[in-house]
Chain A
Amino acid sequence: MFRIVEKRLLAPDIWLMNVEAPRVAKAAQPGQFVIVRGTEDGERIPLTVADYDREKGTISIVIQAVGASTRKIVAQNDYLADFAGPLGQPSEFIHEDIETLRGKKFLFIAGGVGAAPVYPQVKWMHEHGIEADVIVGARTKEMLIIIDELRKVAGNLYLSTDDGSEGFHGNVTALMKDLIDNRGKHYDEVITIGPMIMMKFVALATREYGIKTIASLNTLMIDGTGMCGACRVSIGGKMKFACVDGPEFDASLIDFDEAMRRQRMYKSKEQVADHRCRIGRGK
C-alpha cells in the first residue's frame, strides 16, 4: 500500500496525486514511468513520472480518468494498492555532456496530460542552467495543466488551444511552425509527449525542418519490466519494447500508425467496462 499524500483536480477528469514511495522517489529520473494499481482487482496502469521529491520520498503522477481502471485510481483518496518503478530508460539528455546541452536549443511539445511528464524534464534542464522552450496544447483553456509550474522552469512558454480560448488558436504543430517560420525561432531538438496522433504529426513536421525529435510512447503494458511484450513497437523496422528500451525513442523512426493500432488492441472490452450512463446529464 502506498499513501496518497496529496490529491487535487487539475482539470475536468484530470487529477494530480502525490504518492509516498521513498525508494521510487530516490531513484526516479526524467523520462521514466511507474506502474500503478488503484485497488486489488485493478489493472496495472503505466503512468509517466510528473515530479519527484527525493527528500520527502514522494512521486507525483497525473492521471486522466478515461477508462474503468484510471477512474478507479483517481477514486482512491488514502492509498494506492501498488506503485512500482521507476521503469524505462531515463531521458537521453541526462547522460549528455552539460556544456553540449547548453549549446543546444530545446523545444518541448506537450499535449493534454503530456504536460505533466514534460515538467520534470524541463525542470531538470532548468536546474542545469538550460532554458528550454515549451509548447503546451489542449482542446480548450480549462484543459491546460501544470502551466504555473512550467512557467517557473521554462525559457519561453507558449500555449495553444484548439478552440482559441487561450494562447495560439490551433494545434501544437501549427504553433511550432508559427514560431519557426514567423517568429524567428530556431530549435536543435524537439521532445514531444502527448497523444500518439499528436506526436505523429509533430514528428512529420519536425522532419521537414530536419530537427531531431524524441517522442515518449504510452503503449499498453502489464509488468513494465520486459516480460509481457504487449508494448512492442517498431523502431526503424526493428521490434523494441517500450517498457525497457523506451519509453522515449527517436520519433522519426517510430511506426506511429502501428503503435496507435496496437494501443487499441483491447479497446472493445475496455469500452464495455468504460460505459458510463450519460442519460439525464444534460449537455
Chain B
Amino acid sequence: MANKIPRVPVREQDPAVRATNFEEVCYGYNLEEARLEASRCLNCKKPQCMAHCPVSVKIPQFIAKVLENDIAGAAKIIAEDSSLPSVCGRVCPQESQCEGACVLGVKGEPVAIGKLERFVGDWDLEHAASQETRETVSNGHKVAVIGSGPSGLACAADLAKMGYKVTVFEALHKIGGVLQYGIPEFRLPKDKVVAREIEKVKKLGVKFETDTIIGRTVTIDSLMDDESFDAVFIGSGAGLPKFMGIPGENLNGVLSANEFLTRINLMKAYKEESDTPFYVGERTVVVGGGNVAMDAVRTAKRLGAEAYIVYRRSEAELPARQEEVHHAKEEGVQFHMLTNPLEIIGDENGWVKAVRCIRMELGEPDESGRRSPKAVPGSEFEIPCNTVIMSLGTSPNPLIASTTEGLQTTRWGGLIANDEGATTREGIFAGGDAVTGAATVILAMGAGRKAAVAIDAYIKEKTAEQ
C-alpha cells in the first residue's frame, strides 16, 4: 500500500570523518528502513521504472516482496534479470534510469530503488538465498570468457547454470575487472561485496585463470583450436586511458585516473602492508567530470590532498552520478566548472607546479545533446598544484582485435557486435565496454547475459548440424 511518507533517508558516514578513510560512505538500509521505503511504491500498472532499467528488473515485484518481508523472494525476482544487485544498487546511475522515471518523482522524491536493490543484494550475499544449489549437469561444451568484469562474470554465471564448462581468463592478478581496479573501496567494498559476488560465480563451477593476457599469453585461435573451446565471449572492457595532448602531460606528477586508481584499489597502495607506492601532492587537480573523475578526486582527498575537479562544461552536464558529485562536495572537493586545461607547467626538476586553464562558456548543443563548451578569449589563469590526474574517459584495448583474425572494430576501436553479442567472426561473442566503449556496470552485465543466451543457441545449433 502506498503511503505519503517522505523518502526514507539512508544512513551515511559523516563527511568529515569519511574524507579521511576508505570505509564505505553509505551504510544502506536495514530491514525496517527497507520495508518502510518499499511501502512508498505505488506498484504502477505500467511501471516506468522497469521500462527505464537497462535489464528490465521487475522492480515493483521485488519491492512488493520486500514489503512482505520476503527478502529471499525479492532476491529471486531480481536474479531473473540481474546477476549483480549488490553492485548495481551501489553504482547504477539510478537518477537517469529507474528512479528518474518513477512517478513519485514528478511531485516529490522517487522510490529509493537503488538502495532497496542494494539491501536485497546484500541480504542475498549474506544468506545465499537465490543461489542455485542444484547440481547442474555438464553438457560437455567449453566456453572461454575473456575478462572478469561485470559482463564476463554475468556471462560466465549464466552459461555455467546452463551446463557449460566455463573458464574465465583475467589479465590482472585479481578477479573483478573494473569492480576491482576502478571503483574505490568507499563506494564498492571489495571483501564484503565484490569477493562474494565472485564466490557465487565460482560456486557454479566456473574456473578462473588470472595472469592470462589474451592476445599475448594465449590467442583466441589457440583457445578454440588447441584447447577446444566451442565459443568465446570477449568482455575485456575499455581499459586504455586517454590524455589531452597538451604540453606538459609527461611531467612527473601527471598521471591517468587509471594509474592512480589502480595503485590504490587493485594494489592497495594506501595500506601499510602494500609494497606499491603512490604519489599525491598537497594540491591535486583531477581533469574530467565522470564517475571515474569523482572516484579519483575523492580518493586524492582521502589521501590528504586539497582536491579539485576541473571540468569544461557546467555542473548540469557532469556525466557523473548525482550522488557522487553530492558526496564529493560534502567531503570538501572543490569544483572548477567551465574550465579547460591548456598546459601543465613544470618546475625546474620536471615536476608539476600548476595547470594553466582557460574559462569556457556553453554554446549550442552538440550531437550528444550537451551544449558544447567554447573558450573565452583572454581568460587564461593558473591553478597551482603538484598532481594532475587525467580522467578523460577510456577506450577498448586493441590487443585482442589485433591478434584475432576476422574480428572487426569500429573507427574508435570498439568490437563490432550485434544485439545478441555476435561479432564478425563465428563462435566469438562480445559485450560490455569492449563493444560500447566506457559505459555502465548494468549495461555490461546485461550484454554478458544476452551473449550467454546467444552462445547457448549457437552451440546447440552447431551440435545439431553435426
Contacts and interface: CB of A to CB of B under 8 A. Distances in A.
Nearest to A259: B250
A270 B263 CA distance: 14
B239 A227 contact: yes
A222 B259 contact: yes
Nearest to A67: B275
B418 interface: no
Interface stretch (B138-146, B211-219, B318-326, B372-380): B211-219
B284 to A, nearest CB: 15
B279 interface: yes
A228 B252 contact: no
B171 interface: yes
B173 A37 contact: yes
A197 to B, nearest CB: 16
B110 to A, nearest CB: 36
Interface residues of A, number: 41
Interface stretch (A39-47, A134-142, A201-209, A210-218): A39-47
Interface in B252-272: 252-253, 255-256, 258-259, 262-263, 266-268
A87 interface: yes
A223 B262 contact: yes
B350 A258 contact: yes
Contacts of A86: 216-217
Given A23-B212, A43-B267, A239-B249, A261 B350 contact: yes
Given A222-B262, A229-B241, A258-B250, A273 B277 contact: yes
Interface string B97-126: 000000000000000000000000000000
Given A81-B173, A226-B240, A261-B252, A23 B277 contact: no
Interface in A129-169: none
B72 to A, nearest CB: 35
B172 interface: yes
Contact of A42 (B262, B275, B277, B279): B275
Nearest to A27: B217
Contacts of A265: 252-253, 279
Given A23-B218, A87-B216, A43 B262 contact: no
Nearest to B252: A265
Given A43-B275, A81-B173, A24 B217 contact: yes
B210 interface: yes
Contact of B217 (A44, A69, A85, A226): A85
Contacts of B279: 265-266, 269
A72 interface: yes
Interface in B197-222: 210-213, 216-218
A64 interface: no
A228 B277 contact: no
A84 interface: yes
B171 A84 contact: yes
Contacts of A81: 173
A273 B273 CA distance: 11
B282 to A, nearest CB: 14
Contacts of B266: 222
Contact of B259 (A228, A234, A239, A258): A228
B243 interface: yes
Interface in B393-408: 397, 399
A67 to B, nearest CB: 9
A119 interface: no
Contacts of A24: 217
Interface in B295-348: none
Contacts of A262: 250, 252
Given A23-B218, A84-B172, A266-B278, 14 more contacts: A68-B275, A83-B211, A84-B213, A85-B216, A222-B267, A222-B276, A225-B213, A227-B239, A230-B259, A234-B250, A239-B245, A265-B252, A266-B279, A269-B277
Interface of B: 171-173, 181, 210-213, 216-218, 239-241, 243, 245, 249-250, 252-253, 255-256, 258-259, 262-263, 266-268, 273-279, 349-350, 397, 399
The 8 A-B residue pairs with the shortest CB-CB distance, nearest first, are A84-B211, A228-B259, A266-B277, A269-B277, A229-B256, A43-B275, A227-B239, A82-B173
21 contacts: A23-B212, A27-B217, A41-B273, A43-B277, A82-B211, A84-B171, A84-B217, A85-B216, A85-B217, A87-B213, A222-B259, A222-B266, A226-B239, A226-B397, A228-B262, A229-B243, A232-B250, A239-B245, A239-B250, A261-B252, A265-B253
Interface of A: 23-24, 26-27, 37, 41-44, 68-69, 72, 81-87, 222-223, 225-230, 232-234, 239, 244, 258, 261-262, 264-266, 269-270, 273
